[in-house]
Structure 1
Amino acid sequence: MKIPAMGFGTFRLEGDVAYQSVLTALRAGYRHIDTAQIYGNEVEVGKAIADSGIARSEIFLTTKVWNDNLSQEKFVTSVKTSLNKLASDYVDLLLIHWPAPPKGTSLLDATQSLVKAKEQGLTRAIGVSNFTIAQLEAIKPALTDTPLLTNQVEVHPYLTNLKLRAYCQQHNITVTGYMPFAVGKVLKDPVVTSIAKAHNCTPAQAIIAWTQANHLITIPSSTKAKNIEANLAGLSIKLTSTQLAAIDQLNCNERIATPDFSPEWD
């Protein structure tokens, strides 16, 4: 399986805003939608997919299992609840959202439940999110017959995450980079705006072009139709090697997603 290079992220989108944004994205041409149990918008995502008129088989749908549901008792049941909310018999990709299982549950236990969900046909592929190299190594015993498709982690010009990305590449794990714009910060960076001007494109499109050159899946989010459509057009922009290097040099290890249950980052 391959993940579509551009996905539509739904983090922080709620209610009718989530519904309208996903519907707009699907009508604009997106075929990869990313949600999660903790986002509280699986119902709206499912309704938007149903109302889009696009066949479910043409859409790559991802959801993520939240920390409280990582125990063997809750995992599969929570996935079935998500599918009910999404009005779908399956998701294309199921992720462990954070490597932070509840007391009494190990990451290996949670990964075994993830594999079980795939064996039951609840998902076509499995992956993880926010896992470090050490954690990816720790769960290997549960993945002898079922490879991880992706590790979804924070990646943007201010946090290029090269060490983890290199490990994933070595082990055939696709990297999905979330927060590609660093919550809008990099869109104002003089280096990025200069490159965007040279290509007569938006700063967001320049960053999307950078993610593609680095073989990253990216899942930007927006509530504005203009931006949703423009982001998709970023896939066709090709930056020069000099421009790519200039963006790479912006890395300053500025991490935005750092909840108190975060792992010890690479």
Structure 2
Amino acid sequence: MSGVTDPPPDDPGDDDFFSDIGDGDGIYTGFTQDKTTALAQTYPPGSSAEIPTSIYQYVAVINCAPNSPEQPRLEICDASVNFCLENVPDSSGPYSIIYRRTAEPDGSSPGDWSEIGRTCWTDSVPAASGSPAVELTEAMIVEQFHRTDFALPRAVIQPPDGSTLVNLPVYFQLDWPAAGFEPDEVDTTTLVGHEVRIRPTLIGATYVTGDGSSIGPTTSLGGGYPDGDVTHTYERSAEVSPHITVEYGGEVSVDGGEWTTIPSSATVAGPAAPLRVLASKNRLYDN
């Protein structure tokens, strides 16, 4: 991982914009949350909220090489994440450089980017004058979780070939297909400028046997003869369509941070596996 670059030795502006933390060790953290948010109320000279003849545009560049205003989140390094976790634990992080440029009110004719400060309140940096930052919320994460392309559980049945006999134990096994995200695989997306990683977890699987019975929910993936622990015995001949439903939970990591539990779950059903249950007949033959 790339490291955090050294912060500037001198405050580049009003002292009220900055805070030092630690027991006299002078650790520089940059803009406070209030001052980061207040950037949305700042306009170039000669412009104002009432008569916006020009505006400032802002971008928070995570303080890791090779990030830039054009690619502000290309790399999320441990040093930048940990700096804010250790020094400003109630902030959103990661440690970022704030860049600013002038533009027309409609965003056209932008000037050159220039650094104006640094902050651990990255999600409070506005997009432009008059445009408060859109903060990432738990509701956004939950909504994205439910948009996840979850892997649909496939039922593998033994005996194979789609047929079995009455009173013969049938073994079920859950098989994850290549398509979709199964438990512990990571789906990465971007929400309001943040890298959001969602990792599905298995809450439980229910094996629906197709004859009115079911097994579970359980965390067992079953298996074949003789060690499989998910079995069912059909008592009469029939044509059934067993399938498996899975309840997914999830964990989320934002901008390379720690994994936390998503307060929601989603249930999906896998495809049916048609099965013919046949009755066996005993016959006596003369020698």
Indicate the TM-score class for this superposition, using the shorter chain for normalisation.
under 0.3
Larger Cα Rg: Structure 1 or Structure 2? 2
Normalising by structure 2, what TM-score? 0.18
Bigger strand fraction:
2
Normalising by structure 1, what TM-score? 0.19
Bigger helix fraction:
1
